[in-house]
A and B are shown apart, each in its own frame.
Chain A
Amino acid sequence: MMTPKERLQLVLEKKHVDRPPCICPGGMMNMVTAGLMDAANVYMPDAHTDARKMADLAKAVYEKDCFENYGIPFCMTVEAEEMGAKVDFGSTVYEPHVVAYVIDTVCSWDKLPRLDCNNGRAKVVLDAIRILREETEGVPIVGNLTGPISTASSIMEPVIFYKELRKKNADAHAYMEFITDQLMAFGRAQIEAGADVIAISDPSGTGEIMGPKYFQEFAVTYLNKLLDGLQKEKMGTIVHICGQMNPVYKEVNQVHSDILSFDSVVPMREAREHLQERILMGNVSTYALEFADPEKVKALTRNCMKNGSNIISPACGLGMKSPLVNVQAILECLKEEA
């Protein structure tokens, strides 16, 4: 019997598989629901700051037949927090989010502390990866990074940040270099701790917000710098970008990740046409996962497969109230179709 890790490995090598893997990376792509927390008896916000609880909740995702991977952390605030941003850890239903920025212009980037992997929540994440490495096998461990643009716009006011990409171009690049170096250090430490896959979500670095020119100049450039800076000793990398891809398919195709993941506004068929050579992941509507029934979820899952998705996943982070039976329906359907 093939393990989830072996199946994902085959997909990464573009070899034949019995069926697509069912993956939800974590990070921005939240896979924890209220039902799962009850089942695991581990709750947020504790699981954001305690390695044991983080690992246990990640384990529950696989053990309860939701997805075929472990993935941590469960938010996209670790990096910004370690560089000085103030984070509200939310509640059982709200995700952590930044409540106070560190700098007010890209020019002040040299005042930022470097990300220290031996302290704070960066260490919690790495410890949780080590726990998963020790206690599990056969299931890929996905470590998550917040993308360069999203991190940069969590440390300062996004509106000012976007404007300064144009107005203070050279300083904006210096800022992005610094941010990317910190993310790289964290990503490398995650792989060293035992992460098999690194998933980078950059919801703030979209073609819709930036337009093709700035998407290329800032999003693609620093995603690639980050991807190229990770060790070779890993199974693979995922990049998730939000929003319409129509203005930027050409640019997206230059992203050096093994896998590209999109949200539900991107029709899988369209993505497949534009990105024929790429391994695509996605994109079962999270709306359906929260509000529809298992039959509808299965229909959407079959549709994703038919339209060329290589790895089936939710299109975005799961809503906290998504019923467990709906979430489980994706994997159940893939097993039925195998």
Chain B
Amino acid sequence: MGKKEEYLKRLSDGVVEMEEDDVAEACQEYLDAGYPAFDGIMGGLVDGMNRASQLYEEEEYFVTDVLLCSDAMYAGLDILRPHLPDEDGETKKKGVIGVVEGDTHDIGKNLVKIMLETAGFEMTDLGRDVPLQKFVDTAEEKNADMICMSTLMTTTMGGMETVIHMLEEAGLREQVKVLIGGGPISQKYADKIGADGYSANAVEAVKLAKRLLNII
């Protein structure tokens, strides 16, 4: 194994092992050794996060584990990102994500955001208890390709349908895909309110987003 590959493995393993400090340190050493930031991100950090997602899918890892893995990944990204060449961004698909008004449960939403970012989407996170109009306004402002909404409560799920109507009124419905998820949400509910897709978990959400936006 070459020196570069060793670094990439250390980055990837560091993310899987949730070693935030070591990942940051290794990223700096990797840069100092003159290797390109892009490869470090894709072959190291994102590779590690994908392995963590795989472990999550296999129920070896749970939500808290994935959150810590993502901390390690973001610590590394903070160091490598400033060294990326100026282009990128243009080609990335954009999404707006948030928990609908009235609800503050955002663990699932955070997980979906992390996985979508890992998969190369540019996400704008509106947080939780998000006023419904804000989804539409932000999607318009950012020229987003999709809106992802979640809620854990039956009492607030109606807000998702309202957002879809708001998109229609704003004339944006055709260009923005709507993805929904959360405890009480189902495919049936997605069909009922006219959302483009439903996913039961974060890993499925990435597959769904790729399918809806025709990304191979």
Known pairs A316-B183, A316-B184, A319-B155; A94 contacts B64 (CB<8 A): no
- Option from A99, A162, A203, A316 in Cβ contact (under 8 Å) with B64: A162
For residue A287, CB closer than 8 A to chain B, the reply is: yes
For residue B104, CB closer than 8 A to chain A, the reply is: yes
- Option from A99, A158, A210, A247 in Cβ contact (under 8 Å) with B59: A247
Interface readout for A202-216 with B: 1 if CB under 8 Å, 0 if not? Answer: 011001111100100
For residue A163, CB closer than 8 A to chain B, the reply is: yes
Within B69-90, which residues are at the interface with A (CB < 8 Å)? 71
Residues of A within 8 A of B155 (CB): 30, 93-95, 317, 319-320
* Residue of B59, B106, B189 contacting most chain A CB atoms (<10 Å): B59
Residue contact A97 to B68, C-beta cutoff 8 Å: no
Within A295-338, which residues are at the interface with B (CB < 8 Å)? 316-321
CA distance A166 to B192 in the complex (A): 41
For residue B97, CB closer than 8 A to chain A, the reply is: no
Interface residues of A, count at CB 8 A: 38
Residue contact B192 to A291, C-beta cutoff 8 Å: yes
CA distance A317 to B107 in the complex (A): 19
Residue contact B102 to A90, C-beta cutoff 8 Å: yes
For residue A185, CB closer than 8 A to chain B, the reply is: no
For residue B65, CB closer than 8 A to chain A, the reply is: yes
Residues of B within 8 A of A211 (CB): 61-65
A101 to chain B, nearest CB (A): 10
Residue contact B153 to A317, C-beta cutoff 8 Å: yes
- Option from B65, B67, B184 in Cβ contact (under 8 Å) with A287: B184
Specify the chain A residue showing the minimal Cβ separation from B201: A208
Interface readout for B85-107 with A: 1 if CB under 8 Å, 0 if not? Answer: 00000000000000001111111
Residue contact B67 to A163, C-beta cutoff 8 Å: yes
Specify the chain A residue showing the minimal Cβ separation from B59: A247
A174 to chain B, nearest CB (A): 19
Specify the chain A residue showing the minimal Cβ separation from B154: A319
Residues of A within 8 A of B104 (CB): 97-99
Residue contact A97 to B103, C-beta cutoff 8 Å: yes
For residue B152, CB closer than 8 A to chain A, the reply is: yes
Residue contact B101 to A94, C-beta cutoff 8 Å: yes
CA distance A94 to B155 in the complex (A): 7
Interface readout for A81-117 with B: 1 if CB under 8 Å, 0 if not? Answer: 0000000001001110111000000000000000000
Give the interface of B toward A (CB within 8 A): 59, 61-65, 67-68, 71, 101-107, 110, 129, 152-158, 183-184, 186, 188-189, 192
Give the interface of A toward B (CB within 8 A): 30, 90, 93-95, 97-99, 158-159, 162-163, 165-167, 203-204, 207-211, 214, 242-243, 247, 263, 265, 286-287, 290-291, 316-321
